[in-house]
Amino acid sequence: MTFDIRPLRESDLPEADRIYRLAFGTFMGLPDPMAFAAGADSIGTRWRAPACNAAFGAFEGETLVGSNYVANWGSFGFFGPLTVRPDYWSKGIAQRLLEPTMDTFANWGVRQAGLFTFPNSPKHLGLYQKYDFWPQRLIALTAKKVSGEVAASAAFEGSRAELIAAARAMSDTMYPGLDVSGEIDAVLDQKLGEIVTVRDGASIGAFAVCHVGPGSEAGPKAVYIKFAAAREGKHFGALLTACEALAARRGMSAVTAGVNTACHAAYRKMLAQGYRTQFTGVAMQRGNGAGYLAPDAFVLGDWR
Ligand SMILES: CC(C)(COP(=O)(O)OP(=O)(O)OC[C@H]1O[C@@H](n2cnc3c(N)ncnc32)[C@H](O)[C@@H]1OP(=O)(O)O)[C@@H](O)C(=O)NCCC(=O)NCCS
C-alpha cells in the first residue's frame, strides 16, 4: 500500500471528523464508537484557524485514512488529535503523518513540543518515543458542575489588541515566546466562546481561552478552558470563579479544564476549588524538556 500525506482540504473535514470519532471510540471501547466527543468540534475549528494550526491527511488514492493537527503556541507547539481509520492501524500511517508534523515544528521555530496521550498504552508511548517524546506527569482532565449565579471579579476592559498584548506578555514570563494569541483570535473570530480575564490594575492578572457549548471544543453543555495562565494563586482562583460565572451566564452546566500535574500548585488549587478528575492522560515532551511546566506555574491546558 502506498499513502500520500498532504494538507487537508475543507472537503476532507467530514471524513476527517468521522475517522477521529471512530478511532478514539474504537480504541476506548465505546459501545457506539461514533459517540466519542459528541457535540464537540475539534477538527473543523482547528482547520479554520490556520494562523495557529496545520492539518495533514493521509490518503490512499483519494481516500482519507488518517489525519493529524499541529498547534502553534509561539515557542511551544503540540500535536493531535492524531487518528487513523481502525482498519488501517499498524501499517505505519501515524508515522507517515508525524513526518510533516516534525517538519512543521522546525519551520515554525518551536523550541519545545509536547502531546497528550494514554499512559496505559505501550503502543502510544512506543510510537512517540521514536520521535524523542518521553512520558512525564499525568494530565488531569477535570470538571466542576455549575448551577445558579456566580459572581466574578472585575474583567479587563481593553481592546482585543490590548488583551492579546497583555496575554502575550504574561505567557512570555512563563516561557519566552509562549504565545496563544492564535487561540484567542480563533475563539473570537469563529465565535467559539469567550476570553475570560481577571483585571489587575491597568492590566490582567489572569486570562483563560474558553470554548463554550456546541460547535466548539467544549461540547453541548460545558465551558472548556483550552488555555489559561495567571500571575499568582489569587488571580488563578479568581479566574476559575470567573469561568464558572461564564458557564452560569451562558446556561452551561459545567466547566472543564485540563491541568498538568507538574503544575502542582495549580492542580491543588483546582481540587480545592471543587474540580474533580474525569480522565487522566500523560504528557510527553520532546527531549524530556520541561517547557513552560513548573510546580509554581499557574497554567492550564491539556494539549489534546
Ligand atoms: C495511535 C494511532 C494513531 C497509531 O496509528 P498507526 O498508524 O496504527 O501507528 P503506526 O503503525 O504508524 O505506528 C505504531 C508504532 O507503535 C509501535 N508499537 C506498538 N506496540 C508497541 C509496544 N508494545 N511497545 C513499543 N512500541 C509499540 C509499533 O511498533 C509501531 O512502530 P513500528 O512501525 O516501528 O513497528 C492509531 O492506533 C489510532 O488512531 N488510535 C486511536 C486514536 C488515538 O489513540 N490517537 C492517538 C492519541 S494520542
Domains of the chain, each with CATH number or no CATH: 4-110 (3.40.630.30), 142-300 (3.40.630.30)
157-215, pLDDT tens digit by residue?
999 999 999 999 999 999 999 999 999 999 999 999 999 999 999 999 999 999 999 99
Q: What is the pLDDT of residue 183?
A: 98
The DSSP annotation for 154-202 comes to PPP-S-HHHHHHHHHHHHHHHSTTB--HHHHHHHHHTT-EEEEEEEETT
Task: Output the ligand 1 site: residues, CB below 6 A.
Answer: 23-24, 27, 80, 82-84, 89-95, 117, 122-124, 126-127
Distance 56 CA to ligand 1 centre (A): 17
Q: What is the pLDDT of residue 1?
A: 78
Q: What is the pLDDT of residue 148?
A: 86
Pocket test for ligand 1, best of 1, 65, 89, 285 (most atoms within 8 A of CB): 89
Calculate Rg over the CA atoms of the chain: 19
Q: Kindly give the parts of the chain with pLDDT less than 70.
A: none
What pTM was estimated for this model as a whole? 0.97
Beta bridge partners of 113: 77
Three-state SS letters, 180-191: CHHHHHHHHHCC
Pocket test for ligand 1, best of 5, 82, 127, 129 (most atoms within 8 A of CB): 127
Distance 110 CA to ligand 1 centre (A): 24
Q: What is the pLDDT of residue 54?
A: 98
**Looking at this protein, which amino acid is placed at residue 89?**
W
Beta bridge partners of 139: 260, 281
